[in-house]
């Protein structure tokens, strides 16, 4: 490397690891040069020079000297001369920051042309249209990019000449071209306030300065803010010899991906436009051909592209997005970078590259982002049904998914409609924290205002709810409960469908398909399981949920909540009879009924899981939740169980608690009404014996006691379980192994975990209650103040969603450590929604914990995160 220079790098001096100073484009042009690929030569003005310029507001003498010297080197390499001579050197000036950044200055092509050199080019190539067409483009690009002159103004000048002459530019004479150029210069001078520079070094320095300045334009600043790119990096500038896709019919320009960026399928994917330069391909003026057509029309170029694609993938170990130009059948590479792709493609490509042995298993795992899996699992509209619907409006795709529902304009209205069982789409101008209640019950949220980081967008993404924001095609009148769009009106209750993946809104119902774990994702997750230390279980009690969890790769069920099974009409009635029972006979008969039902539930669970482990939690919720509150309901209840209304009402009132979450629930139920747990354990053991025999499997039920706070509670509950199980063994003459463990969800339980561990086969952290009790935040009311806490930065996260490592986490660490020390066989797990959250899992992985358990939907993501955390 030329040690005299420290502000510029010839392509041959750089490499891909110098993105900081060369920018992404420059670093990769250097890398391709060193790989021996056909790259038009040039040099990079570094970000160091840019940062100096942004301070000094002028090009330093050193930089000017370096650039002049680099140009003269380029003249030597190319055998051309800049600004004079028979074979003038033309260059492009291309911006390129460390992170690709739309919003900054665009590329200028054909720099180095002026009134003199254009004639030389015309003479040398014997191609007037090419030479003058290129010059015309330079004036236009220079004017547009540096002075923001509207391209239309230039085009008009061309059209005027065409109209006057009565023929198109293909037939222009030299005189016609001179006239066009003259017109262009006039447009330029009128709007730029200066003449189009004839001195080619003036052109170059003005262009370099413009690139530097564009780092600080508003669009670039906004983009950086949105993408968390630091403001002080600066951009590099690439100055590169021109090659010409507009030179002849055997020339053209193309962009291509080395694999399909939508599906990940192997094979070149992209477009080629013949007789065109640079941005023509994206401008849409002419329709480019699929790259595959090159195989027939230019087999040599196509073969060369294939070889280069392979070489680049091997070298970068990733799918590449490349830009190239063909000049008279010679292929030139102009850019390469890791290609952007859909989540689906990302998964498929990562697995294929691993199979092709280009990347390691660890690398494959690290390339999948948890959010990608989430997106893949979101439902989407059935393509065949979607094709039948026209979209009525579109906005920003803030949170992926597809949903249908009736339009509701207020959060409260959404809540009411959802409680009636309706599917709701909440449509508002924007949302605020008060709307969260409405958002949680909505299938989708749509706002007419706001961007990707608006309240609606952020909250919906957090909830995994489909969301479109900034939908300006809709004029929403919240008070009037109507929204107008170009073709009509939406009234409350109208059905719409929302696609959060592309931001479109449709009238009516569109069928959806559930997202699924693809074949390749499954294979990746299987590799993940080998690397992970933490195992992943699912939460669920219905056959549907259990199946879902197993299909998604859960090792078993880490939390089956039995209370869900009590809220069916007949059982609820029995439960109410039990609570209101006045004598032992009543209790025995209702318990017998409930036991029969529960046993059926457990049989179904065990039959679905067979020998996969299942942790069943005994009844947890406050008793009073089983009794109605409204007078009419109480009256009906009294009638149905043949009791006096006043007596029932008094009993219900007596059971009502001021603070039910801290009341008669969990193990406290077993203390006051031991028959319930006894019945549940009997049902579990009988079901396990039945299924074990029928299916010849070894079922080891795990029985979990909730809400333990003092050791005697656990001793008592355990004895209750053991007695109940032994009773069944005696009665049936059969036996099986079972486990009894406890949830750890009270701070006090954490503090005495060593004692509890003596009596427990396993611990399972219930992070929801543990968080509630550690903070003293009621889970049901925290939404009233938590948003303000988050806004004011009093808390970094909602602790019910992201585990509070400092407080709750410290308690967990203490409990797990003490527990395992006291009982080396103790299994420790975490259930609750944080079990599927990346940050939380990362922390849990540092604790002496064996597994996490989360909702079935989040199991695949959790498997990935558990592996990533361990890499």
Q: Helices 674-695 and 711-732 sit at what angle, rounded to 10 degrees?
A: 50
DSSP conformation class of 525 = H
The answer to whether 455 is a known catalytic residue is yes
Cβ proximity to ligand ADP: between 107 and 144 the closer is 107
Q: How many residues bind ligand ADP (CB under 6 A)?
A: 17
Q: Are strands 739-744 and 702-705 parallel, antiparallel or unpaired?
A: parallel
Out of 157, 256, 334, 867, the only residue in the binding site for ligand ADP (CB under 6 A) is: 334
DSSP conformation class of 565 = G
In contact, 546 and 538? CB cutoff 8 Å: yes
Cβ proximity to ligand ADP: between 154 and 272 the closer is 272
Out of 238, 258, 335, 404, the only residue in the binding site for Mg ion (CB under 5 A) is: 335
Q: Is 263 exposed, middle or buried (0-12, 13-18, 19+ CB in 10 A)?
A: middle
User: Is the sign of the CA dihedral 343, 349, 351, 353 positive or negative?
Assistant: negative
Report the partner that residue 47 touches, choosing among Mg ion, ligand ADP, none (CB closer than 5 to 8 A by kind).
none
Q: Left (φ > 0), alpha (ψ -120 to 50) or beta: where does 270 sit? A: left
CA 525 – CA 83 distance, rounded (Å): 59
Cβ proximity to Mg ion: between 323 and 620 the closer is 323
Query: Among residue numbers 39 through 58, which ones bind ligand ADP (CB under 6 A)?
Result: 40
DSSP codes, 64-118: HHHHHHHHHHHHHHHT-BSSSSSSB--EEEEEEESS--BTB---EEEET--TTHH
Query: Among residue numbers 71 through 130, which ones bind ligand ADP (CB under 6 A)?
Result: 92, 94, 106-107, 109
The answer to whether 389 is a known catalytic residue is no
Query: Among residue numbers 347 through 406, which ones bind Mg ion (CB under 5 A)?
Result: none
CA 650 – CA 756 distance, rounded (Å): 38
Which span (240-248, 373-381, 432-440, 798-806) binds ligand ADP, by CB under 6 A? 240-248
Which span (190-198, 333-341, 357-365, 412-420) binds Mg ion, by CB under 5 A? 333-341
CB of residue 93 vs ligand ADP: minimum separation in angstroms? 8
Which span (236-244, 283-291, 444-452, 812-820) binds ligand ADP, by CB under 6 A? 236-244
Report the partner that residue 576 touches, choosing among Mg ion, ligand ADP, none (CB closer than 5 to 8 A by kind).
none
CB of residue 305 vs ligand ADP: minimum separation in angstroms? 15
In contact, 585 and 541? CB cutoff 8 Å: no
Query: Among residue numbers 294 through 323, which ones bind Mg ion (CB under 5 A)?
Result: 323
CA 87 – CA 78 distance, rounded (Å): 10
Report the partner that residue 240 touches, choosing among Mg ion, ligand ADP, none (CB closer than 5 to 8 A by kind).
ligand ADP
- Compute the radius of gyration of the chain from its Cα atoms: 35
CA neighbours closer than 13 Å in the CB half-sphere of residue 100: 9
CA 221 – CA 231 distance, rounded (Å): 7
Out of 144, 325, 590, 772, the only residue in the binding site for ligand ADP (CB under 6 A) is: 325
Which positions ≥6 away from 588 have C-beta within 8 Å?
A: none
Which span (237-245, 342-350, 611-619, 758-766) binds ligand ADP, by CB under 6 A? 237-245
Cβ proximity to ligand ADP: between 109 and 689 the closer is 109
Cβ proximity to Mg ion: between 332 and 777 the closer is 332
Out of 7, 121, 207, 243, the only residue in the binding site for ligand ADP (CB under 6 A) is: 243
CA 555 – CA 528 distance, rounded (Å): 13
**C-beta nearest to Mg ion: residue:** 335
Query: Among residue numbers 104 through 123, which ones bind Mg ion (CB under 5 A)?
Result: 106
Cβ proximity to ligand ADP: between 92 and 535 the closer is 92
Which span (80-88, 101-109, 650-658, 735-743) binds Mg ion, by CB under 5 A? 101-109
Exactly one of 50, 614, 750, 831 is catalytic; name it.
831
Three-state secondary-structure class, residue 773: helix
Apex 101 CA angle, 243 and 265, nearest 5: 75
CA 110 – CA 146 distance, rounded (Å): 14
CA distances from 596 to 581, 591, 603, 683, 849 (A): 19, 9, 11, 7, 36
Report the partner that residue 686 touches, choosing among ligand ADP, Mg ion, none (CB closer than 5 to 8 A by kind).
none
Which span (239-247, 415-423, 545-553, 760-768) binds ligand ADP, by CB under 6 A? 239-247
Query: Among residue numbers 264 through 293, which ones bind ligand ADP (CB under 6 A)?
Result: 278-279
CA 821 – CA 520 distance, rounded (Å): 41
CB of residue 122 vs ligand ADP: minimum separation in angstroms? 19
Which positions ≥6 away from 698 have C-beta within 8 Å?
A: 611, 692, 736, 737
Exactly one of 455, 467, 721, 854 is catalytic; name it.
455
CB of residue 94 vs ligand ADP: minimum separation in angstroms? 3
In contact, 561 and 617? CB cutoff 8 Å: yes
Which tokens in the block code for residue 36? 């021996």
Query: Among residue numbers 446 through 465, which ones bind ligand ADP (CB under 6 A)?
Result: none
What residue ranges bind ligand ADP (CB under 6 A)? 40, 92, 94, 106-107, 109, 240-243, 253, 278-279, 323, 325, 334-335
Active site amino acids: 455, 831
Q: Interface residues with Mg ion (CB under 5 A)?
A: 106, 323, 335
């Amino acid at each position: 490397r030329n040690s005299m220079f420290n502000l510029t790098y010839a392509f041959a001096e750089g490499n891909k690891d110098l993105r900081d100073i060369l920018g992404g484009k420059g670093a990769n042009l250097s890398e391709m040069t060193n790989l021996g690929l056909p790259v038009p030569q040039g040099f990079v003005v570094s970000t160091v020079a840019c940062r100096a310029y942004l301070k000094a507001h002028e090009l330093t003498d050193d930089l000017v000297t370096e650039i002049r010297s680099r140009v003269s080197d380029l003249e030597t390499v190319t055998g051309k001369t800049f600004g004079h001579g028979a074979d003038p050197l033309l260059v492009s000036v291309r911006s390129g920051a460390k992170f690709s950044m739309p919003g900054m200055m665009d590329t200028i092509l054909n720099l180095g042309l002026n009134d003199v050199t254009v004639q030389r080019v015309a003479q040398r190539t014997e191609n007037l249209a090419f030479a003058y067409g290129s010059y015309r483009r330079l004036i236009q690009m220079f004017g547009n990019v540096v002075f923001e002159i509207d391209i239309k103004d230039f085009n008009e000048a061309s059209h005027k000449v065409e109209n006057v002459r009565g023929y198109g530019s293909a037939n222009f004479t030299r005189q016609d071209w001179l006239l066009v150029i003259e017109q262009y210069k006039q447009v330029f001078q009128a709007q730029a306030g200066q003449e189009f520079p004839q001195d080619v070094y003036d052109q170059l320095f003005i262009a370099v300065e413009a690139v530097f300045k564009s780092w600080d334009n508003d669009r670039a600043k906004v983009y950086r803010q949105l993408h968390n790119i630091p403001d002080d990096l600066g951009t590099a500038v690439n100055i590169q010899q021109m090659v010409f896709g507009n030179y002849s019919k055997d020339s053209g320009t193309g962009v291509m991906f080395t694999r399909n960026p939508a599906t990940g399928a192997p094979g070149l994917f992209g477009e080629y436009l013949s007789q065109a330069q640079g941005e023509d391909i994206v401008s849409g003026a002419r329709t480019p051909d699929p790259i595959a057509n090159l195989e027939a029309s230019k087999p040599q170029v196509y073969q060369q592209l294939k070889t280069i694609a392979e070489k680049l993938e091997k070298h970068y170990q990733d799918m590449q997005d490349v830009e190239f130009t063909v000049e008279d059948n010679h292929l030139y590479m102009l850019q390469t970078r890791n290609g952007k792709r859909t989540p689906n493609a990302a998964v498929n490509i990562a697995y294929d590259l691993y199979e092709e042995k280009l990347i390691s298993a660890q690398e494959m795992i690290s390339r999948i982002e948890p959010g990608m899996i989430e997106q893949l699992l979101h439902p989407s509209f059935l393509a065949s049904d979607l094709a039948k619907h026209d979209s009525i409006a579109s906005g920003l795709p803030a949170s992926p998914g597809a949903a249908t529902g009736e339009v509701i304009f207020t959060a409260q209205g959404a809540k009411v409609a959802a409680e009636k069982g309706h599917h709701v789409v909440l449509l508002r101008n924007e949302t605020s924290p008060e709307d969260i209640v409405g958002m949680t019950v909505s299938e989708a949220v749509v706002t007419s205002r706001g961007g990707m980081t608006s309240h609606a967008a952020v909250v919906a993404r957090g909830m995994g709810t489909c969301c479109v924001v900034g939908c300006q095609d809709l004029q929403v009148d919240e008070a009037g409960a109507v929204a107008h769009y170009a073709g009509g009106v939406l009234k409350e209750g109208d059905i719409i469908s929302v696609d959060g993946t592309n931001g479109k809104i449709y009238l009516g119902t569109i069928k959806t398909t559930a997202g699924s774990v693809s074949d390749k994702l499954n294979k990746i997750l299987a590799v993940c399981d080998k690397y992970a230390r933490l195992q992943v279980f699912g939460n669920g009690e219905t056959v549907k949920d259990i199946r879902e969890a197993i299909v998604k790769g859960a090792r078993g069920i880490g939390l089956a909540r039995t209370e869900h099974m009590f809220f069916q009409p007949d059982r609820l009635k029995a439960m109410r009879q039990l609570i209101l029972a006045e004598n032992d006979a009543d209790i025995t008969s209702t318990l017998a009924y409930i036991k029969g039902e529960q046993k059926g539930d457990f049989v179904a669970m065990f039959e679905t899981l067979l020998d996969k482990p299942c942790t069943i939690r005994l009844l947890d919720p406050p008793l009073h939740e089983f009794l109605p509150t409204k007078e009419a309901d109480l009256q009906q209840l009294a009638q149905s169980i043949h009791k006096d209304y006043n007596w029932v009402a008094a009993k219900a009132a007596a059971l009502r608690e001021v603070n039910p979450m801290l009341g008669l629930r969990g193990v406290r139920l077993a203390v006051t009404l031991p028959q319930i747990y006894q019945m549940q354990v009997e049902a579990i053991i009988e079901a396990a014996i039945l299924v074990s025999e029928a299916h010849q499997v070894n079922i080891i039920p795990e029985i979990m006691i909730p809400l333990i706070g003092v050791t005697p509670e656990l001793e008592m509950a355990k004895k209750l379980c053991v007695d109940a199980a032994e009773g069944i063994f005696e009665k049936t003459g059969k036996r099986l192994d079972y486990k009894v463990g406890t949830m750890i969800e009270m701070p006090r339980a954490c503090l005495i975990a060593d004692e509890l561990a003596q009596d427990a086969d396993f611990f399972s952290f219930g992070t929801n209650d543990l968080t509630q009790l550690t903070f003293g935040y009621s889970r049901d009311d925290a939404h009233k103040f938590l948003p303000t806490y988050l806004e004011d930065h009093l808390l970094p996260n909602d602790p019910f969603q992201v585990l509070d490592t400092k407080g709750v986490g410290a308690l967990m660490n203490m409990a797990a450590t003490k527990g395992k020390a006291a009982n080396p066989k103790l299994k420790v797990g975490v259930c609750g929604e944080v079990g599927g959250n990346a940050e939380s899992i990362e922390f849990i992985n540092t604790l002496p914990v064996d597994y996490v358990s989360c909702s079935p939907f989040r199991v695949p993501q959790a498997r990935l995160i558990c592996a990533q955390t361990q890499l």
